[in-house]
Structure 1
Amino acid sequence: MAALSPASKKAIANLRAFAAPTTNYYKCPLTRRAAVLILLFADRGGDLRVVLTIRSAGLKNYAGQAALPGGKADALHETPFMTARREAFEEIGLPMSDHKFPPGYSVEHLTELPANLAMTELGVRPCVAFLQGPAPSPQNRNPDVARDILPKLDAREVAAVFTAPFYNFLREKDLDPEAPKNNPGEWYKGSWHSWHESAWRMHQFFVPVPPSTVFLANYKPKEKKEATPEASSDITSSKSTVQSKGKSAKSSSSLQPPLPRSFYSIAGDALAQPRYRVFGMTARILVDCARVAYGEEPEYEHNSHFGDEEMMERLLKIGRLSPIRKEGEVLTRDVMMKAAKARM
């Protein structure tokens, strides 16, 4: 395995030193707790890449969409890292303890980021970890983290695992000049949308997926029903400020209405594309993690705050995020306005 580049070393150090503010995650009932794993590793050039999945076509929610390994907590005593590691084991076969890795491999837990609020009213805690690989040896002359660790997939949940250049999530275009030649398309699209009286930036990244970066499960495309915003949307519903190029989203003439249902649907075989689309809350979490790691702001416009801790606290104060979700319960404009008035 190549040594970390200077930029990667600094990024890992920044993440290791990051101390997230007090979280409202533990105030949420068990049914509202979830965690995802941001698993980083170094490629042969020493640059960081992040592990993502394409969810199986047969799943009820988020079918065919890109996601970070993760899911709901199983018990109140389970920490976010415990949840994220368990789900990563179930979905992509990532061992839960170092002694179960091949020789020379280990995982370091770096930090947790502020919790995000999914539209399904889950508190989602991003957990950041670094997958360390071995130096070349007579037994393994060419160690490859992705090849050696990742291809153990649960096809019931995950159709594929792929990796993406981590630093690129701060940029508008592919860092690799050869990427568009081999995988046609653009890297980034973004737009401002109205979301419960707030300006919300929807990020879309289109990750080029050459064969060396993708591992497929035994996958058979299935016809699926059109996804609904409640089932598919990872857009969170938080009041936010805007930081980017000196512009205010609220005064922007490009502010668009809420996204249509078709935005969340995957047309055709998700795995047949030269690029995989990463969007919604998954994209936002990766952007925020890269901001912390590299100490830079993105080239594109974005919401400046990290996570949704304040909105989660306000919703808890007005009795939302209860253990049992009532049928038809959604975060309406009236609910958000009531939460905005709640005293902190």
Structure 2
Amino acid sequence: MAYLSPASKRAIANLRAYSSPPTNWYKCPLTRRAAVLILLFADRGGDLRVVLTIRSAGLKSYAGQAALPGGKADSLNENPFTVARREAFEEIGLPMSDHRLPPGYSVEHLTELPSNLAMTELGVRPCVAFLRGPAPSERNRDPDTARDILPRLDAREVAAVFTAPFFNFLRDKDLDPGTRTSVPGEWYKGSWHSWHESAWRMHQFFVPVSPSTVFLANYQGASGPPPEASTDITSSKTPAVKSNGASAKSSSSLQPPLPRSFYSMAGDALAQPRYRVFGMTARIMVDCARVAYGEEPEYEHNSHFGDEEMMERLLKIGRLAPIKKDGEWLSRDIMMKAAKAKM
């Protein structure tokens, strides 16, 4: 097996041992079930990196935004990992079975995290997996997971696949001092925003990229242009109801709700020295890193994991129905009604 640093070994062990609390994902109708794959692998130094994507510029929604591979369930028989692996295969070409990976590579399903509630009122279940690489051999003297796996992916539903340092999602600056000085921009920006009289922390991470960490989609051999894929589930989300620390208690520290323009991408997303990861994708990465490394972030954040309580309350008042009506949205009145629902 490829080398893992002591910190990476502990992180994988912590994720493997993590038992997620009961989920409301299975209580949701089929049309409200979705899952994403958090695919981790070790770089040459033994540190963990995570695979992310940039959505195609030709898609109808959230074009050019960063997201985890994922999508909606196809049947009630699919569990979250089945959904996540199928979507990862469809979006980035990750084989469904180990025997279709290059020799020495395998995928271990580690754990599932509490479900999140997407802006589109989907219950999104994060599934964590470890892409194990081989040790050096006569056949592959210099194994490099990013080089050996990602360039072979047929990412027809995304513009690019890129990787980010996993542990860095707990820090407010680039871990590598050289990156801080050589790559324009900063790693982290965050702020508290009001949402129906609650506080939600908007995380923005700006991942530095290079030719060795970004792999552009190859459409050669594809029949026609990139497909207009399924509804995005990770780039934007409804804010969490609970919050932590004194920052959430003082309304004077809260900024207004984010404008729609915040979610749009100006210019060519692939031409930037850093790729922006924000919204639900960013929050999922933060929560996963908290579990893996047993540490809290350097910056302020919503302290609870996922939105299981919010989902349960909404289900109790008849929300998250199989069919969404035109103009239906989670208004202040709906959230106040859900808050009063008996648990």
Q: TM-score range by the shorter chain?
A: over 0.9
Question: In structure 2, what is the Cα distance between the partners aligned to 1:196 and 1:131?
Answer: 40
Offset at residue 210 of structure 1 (A): 1.1
CA separation of 1:233 and 1:145: change in aligned 2, threshold 3 A: closer
Question: In structure 2, what is the Cα distance between the partners aligned to 1:269 and 1:232?
Answer: 20
Is the 2:243–2:301 contact (alpha carbons within 8 Å) kept by the matching residues of 1?
A: no
Question: In structure 2, what is the Cα distance between the partners aligned to 1:106 and 1:20?
Answer: 23
Offset at residue 152 of structure 1 (A): 3.8
Is the 1:189–1:203 contact (alpha carbons within 8 Å) kept by the matching residues of 2?
A: yes
Is the 2:161–2:215 contact (alpha carbons within 8 Å) kept by the matching residues of 1?
A: yes
Question: In structure 1, what is the Cα distance between the partners aligned to 2:21 and 2:67?
Answer: 25
Q: Can you list the C-alpha shifts for 1:255-299, whole angstroms capped at 9, x where unaligned?
A: 100001111010010000000000000000000000000000000
CA separation of 1:7 and 1:155: change in aligned 2, threshold 3 A: closer
Offset at residue 6 of structure 1 (A): 0.5
CA separation of 1:4 and 1:236: change in aligned 2, threshold 3 A: same
> Partner residue of 1:236?
238
Is the 1:61–1:231 contact (alpha carbons within 8 Å) kept by the matching residues of 2?
A: no
Q: Can you list the C-alpha shifts for 1:18-38, whole angstroms capped at 9, x where unaligned?
A: 000000000000000000000
TM-score, scaled relative to structure 1 = 0.93
The residue correspondences of 1:199-218 to structure 2 (distance < 5 A) are: 199-218=199-218
> Partner residue of 1:77?
77
Is the 1:242–1:304 contact (alpha carbons within 8 Å) kept by the matching residues of 2?
A: yes
The residue correspondences of 1:100-179 to structure 2 (distance < 5 A) are: 100-179=100-179
Is the 1:58–1:156 contact (alpha carbons within 8 Å) kept by the matching residues of 2?
A: no
Offset at residue 156 of structure 1 (A): 4.0
Q: Can you list the C-alpha shifts for 1:182-226, whole angstroms capped at 9, x where unaligned?
A: 32110000000001221000000000001110000148xx9xxxx
CA separation of 1:127 and 1:203: change in aligned 2, threshold 3 A: same
1:86 aligned counterpart, secondary structure: helix
Question: In structure 2, what is the Cα distance between the partners aligned to 1:170 and 1:18?
Answer: 18
> Partner residue of 2:254?
255
> Partner residue of 1:226?
none
2:180 aligned counterpart, secondary structure: helix
> Partner residue of 1:225?
none
Is the 1:172–1:187 contact (alpha carbons within 8 Å) kept by the matching residues of 2?
A: yes
Q: Can you list the C-alpha shifts for 1:90-116, whole angstroms capped at 9, x where unaligned?
A: 111111011111110000000000000
Q: Does 1:329 align with 2:310?
A: no
Question: In structure 2, what is the Cα distance between the partners aligned to 1:94 and 1:231?
Answer: 19
> Partner residue of 1:319?
318
Show structure 1 runs of 5+ residues with no match.
223-229
Is the 1:114–1:306 contact (alpha carbons within 8 Å) kept by the matching residues of 2?
A: yes
> Partner residue of 1:288?
287
Letter in 1 for 2:324: R
Offset at residue 231 of structure 1 (A): 9.0
> Partner residue of 1:40?
40
Letter in 1 for 2:305: F
1:258 aligned counterpart, secondary structure: coil
CA separation of 1:166 and 1:292: change in aligned 2, threshold 3 A: same
Is the 1:232–1:264 contact (alpha carbons within 8 Å) kept by the matching residues of 2?
A: no
Q: Can you list the C-alpha shifts for 1:148-202, whole angstroms capped at 9, x where unaligned?
A: 1112444541000000000000000000111133321100000000012210000
> Partner residue of 2:54?
54
Question: In structure 2, what is the Cα distance between the partners aligned to 1:12 and 1:166?
Answer: 12
Question: In structure 1, what is the Cα distance between the partners aligned to 2:155 and 2:3?
Answer: 33
Q: Does 1:64 align with 2:64?
A: yes
Question: In structure 2, what is the Cα distance between the partners aligned to 1:18 and 1:157?
Answer: 31
Question: In structure 1, what is the Cα distance between the partners aligned to 2:234 and 2:10?
Answer: 35
Question: In structure 1, what is the Cα distance between the partners aligned to 2:104 and 2:215?
Answer: 22
CA separation of 1:95 and 1:232: change in aligned 2, threshold 3 A: closer
> Partner residue of 2:92?
92
Offset at residue 234 of structure 1 (A): 1.6
Letter in 1 for 2:254: L
2:248 aligned counterpart, secondary structure: coil
Is the 1:2–1:45 contact (alpha carbons within 8 Å) kept by the matching residues of 2?
A: no
